[in-house]
Chain A
């Protein structure tokens, strides 16, 4: 994304299920396996089933400290973990048009959590501005026809949307933050391909505000998604604020998201994470619990040591 290699209309494959993130730039992007990739490298082509599309039309404006992650979690709850299997989700509507590219990446990123093959944000002026700042490209019109055949057209309105939380152990177990507020957390992870961009860290820092410290006893782990995002956050003073408040800031990587490194959970521990999957055992012990939320909710919860509604901070 940040190198400008993803652009509207392109076909992108990657050996990571969250390759669908590039859909934020209007590309058809989908995850494949490593043998698939070997075939792509040799032949420059791959077999695909052409997906049907579901139109996700999102109207309204987000309330304070509610945003893209809350929207995509609520969609996962509504559509279900396999409600879009083999299909493409096409995101459009006012709430999407007014969303920054970081938020669009968050939405496209989690299309796979509904089984989708791709999640594509309909390109608009913001898309072209982002892509044209990174490579030479002439904008063109790319949108579904007015009479396009969709498998389904779903309408949403985010005006009254509350911060959302996915509770253990499936991404589609989604509730309003108020339903789980007060749940004690041992670890808060802010990062991942879902929410590890500068804008995500800025959301978390805004909630942190001028508070001295995160709650004692909570491991707060902040991992920018890339070196570029790390530098942006560093230069803006966000990293300093997180470290002052007691967070551990690690070099860009997936971190504890898939049980790789930094902050693996012990049996019985509870983690609130801005990543994309809360499967049993995903972040360490199979006896641990993982909740998923936005960076704002994660920061609010890190301040109090329990799941906290960021609107109340």
Chain B
């Protein structure tokens, strides 16, 4: 399991270019993940690899194909200093775990990494880096495998009102 490190403001056009949006199969999308940005990713990414970004990871379009392409490539966890909000939602909803770590910078490309959620840390190069806790119900959605699987156990949702 290695780290694929990217910079700040990685946008969804970089993760999966618009011309592939007619594809829905994660495995097929994965063949084009980061195409034109980092071509070796699609060839070399392996099950359990981690994608690491800087600030504003996943900015841009609302395409759910972005987390699906990463999932198709075997990525289960994305770590960044911060996420764009729609990507964050889409990741949770499709079962990809987005983790925020202020210390993400100290991980290098190609590092081996271990994610210990119960302990609230990730380990790279023998160092432990803190990650922000994932809100309970978001974790439940990811653990269920995404929002569709999660919603199958729901008959109704509790709504709040501002009146």
B86 touches A17 (CB 8 A): yes
The residue from A38, A82, A282 contacting B82, defined by CB atoms under 8 A apart: A82
Per the 8 Å Cβ criterion, residues 128-152 of A in contact with B are none
Per the 8 Å Cβ criterion, residues 268-294 of A in contact with B are 277, 279-282, 286
B157 touches A35 (CB 8 A): no
How far in angstroms is the closest Cβ of chain B from A90? 17
B36 touches A286 (CB 8 A): yes
B84 touches A85 (CB 8 A): yes
A259 touches B18 (CB 8 A): yes
B13 close to A (CB within 8 Å): yes
Q: How far is it, in angstroms, between the C-alpha of A302 and the C-alpha of B44 when the chains are bound?
A: 43
Contacts of B19 in A (CB 8 A): 259
A64 close to B (CB within 8 Å): no
B125 close to A (CB within 8 Å): no
The residue from A38, A81, A258 contacting B148, defined by CB atoms under 8 A apart: A38
Q: How far is it, in angstroms, between the C-alpha of A41 and the C-alpha of B55 when the chains are bound?
A: 32
A224 close to B (CB within 8 Å): no
Interface-located stretch among A42-50, A197-205, A304-312: A42-50
A183 close to B (CB within 8 Å): no
Interface size on B, residues (CB 8 A): 35
A82 touches B84 (CB 8 A): yes
Given known contacts A82-B84, A85-B84, A279 and B89 CB-to-CB distance under 8 angstroms: no
Given known contacts A17-B61, A35-B146, A39-B151, A82 and B93 CB-to-CB distance under 8 angstroms: no
How far in angstroms is the closest Cβ of chain A from B158? 9
Q: How far is it, in angstroms, between the C-alpha of A121 and the C-alpha of B89 when the chains are bound?
A: 25
B157 touches A81 (CB 8 A): no
Contacts of A209 in B (CB 8 A): none
B90 close to A (CB within 8 Å): yes
Contacts of B82 in A (CB 8 A): 82, 85
How far in angstroms is the closest Cβ of chain B from A262? 13
Contacts of A15 in B (CB 8 A): 62
B18 touches A258 (CB 8 A): yes
A86 close to B (CB within 8 Å): yes
Closest to A282 in B: B13
Per the 8 Å Cβ criterion, residues 79-105 of B in contact with A are 82-86, 89-90, 93-94
A170 touches B9 (CB 8 A): yes
B56 touches A33 (CB 8 A): no
Contacts of A42 in B (CB 8 A): 151
Q: How far is it, in angstroms, between the C-alpha of A38 and the C-alpha of B148 when the chains are bound?
A: 8
B17 close to A (CB within 8 Å): yes
Contacts of A259 in B (CB 8 A): 13, 17-19
Contacts of A43 in B (CB 8 A): 151, 154, 156-157
B56 touches A115 (CB 8 A): yes
A117 close to B (CB within 8 Å): yes
Per the 8 Å Cβ criterion, residues 247-278 of A in contact with B are 258-260, 277
How far in angstroms is the closest Cβ of chain A from B30? 18
B156 touches A258 (CB 8 A): no
Given known contacts A36-B89, A36-B147, A82-B82, A258 and B36 CB-to-CB distance under 8 angstroms: no
**Per-position binary interface string of chain B over residues 56-87, scored 1 when its CB falls under 8 Å from any chain A CB and 0 otherwise:** 10011111100000000000000000111110
How far in angstroms is the closest Cβ of chain A from B132? 13
Q: How far is it, in angstroms, between the C-alpha of A232 and the C-alpha of B154 when the chains are bound?
A: 47
**Per-position binary interface string of chain A over residues 1-35, scored 1 when its CB falls under 8 Å from any chain B CB and 0 otherwise:** 00000000000000111010000000000011111
The 6 closest A-B pairs by CB, nearest first: A286-B36, A82-B56, A33-B90, A259-B18, A35-B93, A258-B18
Known: A33-B63, A36-B147, A81-B59. 14 other contacts (CB 8 A): A32-B86, A33-B64, A33-B93, A35-B148, A36-B90, A38-B147, A43-B151, A43-B157, A85-B84, A115-B56, A259-B13, A277-B11, A279-B13, A281-B37
A residues within 8 Å of B by Cβ?
A: 15-17, 19, 31-36, 38-39, 42-43, 45, 47, 81-82, 85-86, 115, 117, 170, 258-260, 277, 279-282, 286
